[in-house]
Amino acid sequence: MKEIKSFPFKMDAINDAGEFCGYASTFGSIDLGGDVVVKGAYKKTLIESKGRFPILDHHDPTRQIGWNVEAHEDERGLFVRGLLDLNVTAAKERHSLMKMAQNIGGRTGLSIGFRVIKEEADNKRPEIRLLKEIQLMEYSVVTFPMNRQAGVISVKAKEELIGQFLKNAVGMDPRQTRLAIRNLKSLLIRKNEPGLTHSFGKGADFKGKGMLRQSLQRLLNDVRQA
């Protein structure tokens, strides 16, 4: 399952050759999605990739605009050094806007695409997810870095309502509720799974509906037995 997090990129510098550097992620702070990245989370993916990750324009795999050429963890977070290919029109445009943002004191948006390999709930605050190992797949330069976070806030509120229902109507304990919501989100975002249709408007695939309903029922049964 690929996840996306967007935020204002803490850019330290950008030059005329298209090279830039800064922090793509910081450790220890709770983001608006209720996640905390733990120091060491990127260690394995950095070894395997040697810090080489594609840089995309708005997560579009058909619009690569450069490569990340160096990445390492320090006490603050994940430091990255990227290089935009200024022979690519989209990269040239992004480079110009990043320089303008730096000159006027604006914030460049960056969004990382990743998979969570290891996670666990915080002992004292079970609603907080600790990300202990992350596979970084790519990152993108984006126009509105806070839009994704605003969406997370909306989703978070809906999760609380679902959690209240599962607790009051189904009788799940907090651990079972977290597991149910997490697995439900995982199920619903598998848009490319054959036979599953998640758009239930006019003309929706009724076979897809039935399969989704069966999957949700199995999920509920599994969680109840957990």
List, for residues 34-46, the tens digit of each pLDDT value.
888 999 999 999 9
Residue 203, judged by CB atoms within 10 A of its CB (0-12, 13-18, 19+), counts as: exposed
Residue 34, judged by CB atoms within 10 A of its CB (0-12, 13-18, 19+), counts as: middle
For the chain, the domain total comes to 2
Question: Is the full-model pTM beyond 0.95?
Answer: no
The contacts of residue 41 (CB under 8 Å, 6+ apart) are: 27, 131, 132, 133, 134
Query: What range defines the domain where residue 95 resides?
Result: 3-143
Residues 115, 156 within the same domain: no
Residue where a domain stops, chosen among 100, 119, 143 = 143
- 36-73 per-position pLDDT tens digit: 899 999 999 999 999 999 999 988 999 999 999 999 99
Residues 93, 137 within the same domain: yes
Average pLDDT in the chain? 77
- Structural tokens at position 176: 């079972």
